[in-house]
Amino acid sequence: MAETSPASTALPDGGTVRPITRWGEQVMHRVQEPVTEYDEELHALAADMVATMYAADGVGLAACQIGVDRSIFVFDCPDDEGVRHQGVVCNPVLFLPEGRDRRLDDDDEGCLSLPGAFVKCARPDFARVEGQDLDRNPVSYEGQGLLARCLQHETDHCQGTVFGDRLNKRSRKKLFKQAEENAESYPGHWPAEA
């Protein structure tokens, strides 16, 4: 098991696994409402998101992926050195390298809201995200490799973008074909118990 980064924040536990919302649902394709109330309801939402992410074997999950219109995501993801980073980010703002510092990583990407499908998606190989934690404290996470991809992917969800929006028609067609071929493995209530 990979070690956890000291910059990581402990994730809330005790949540309930919820069904994952799929691409095509309206909540997945609009800018999410900002988090303004940092209360018990927000903590409970984050705990449910964490439980759902783990049940689905994911490395990140945004609130819209369980049907909640809030700009928040949770993650537990390794970086390119195998160090695990975890945290909760409300109202994420993404910072990406520009100019000569910008290098693209064209690696496979998938989404729990279109389960069982993966295609290459070019993204910058480094990302930093800033926002607030569950108690309104400022947080900042950054990294390379899968962690950079995760931070970009989950921030996209908060902006109403699914990674399929970033693909050309051919890659998108391949992605949807894979999802269709694997649909029986992911019933509508997945990963919650039927």
In three-state secondary structure terms, 133 is coil
Burial class (CB in 10 A: 0-12, 13-18, 19+), 97: middle
For the chain, the maximum distance between any two Cα atoms, rounded to a whole number of angstroms, is 50
Token pair 């404290």 is found at: 137
Beta bridge partners of residue 89, listed in sequence order: 73
Q: Which tokens is 35 given?
A: 């988090």
Query: Is 154 one of the annotated active-site residues of the chain?
Result: yes
How do strand 138-144 and strand 84-95 relate by DSSP bridges?
unpaired
Catalytic member of 154, 180, 181, 184? 154
Distance of alpha carbon 80 from alpha carbon 97, whole angstroms = 17
Contact 72, 62 (CB under 8 A): yes
Q: What is the dihedral of CA 24, 25, 29, 30, to 10 degrees?
A: 160
Active site residues: 154
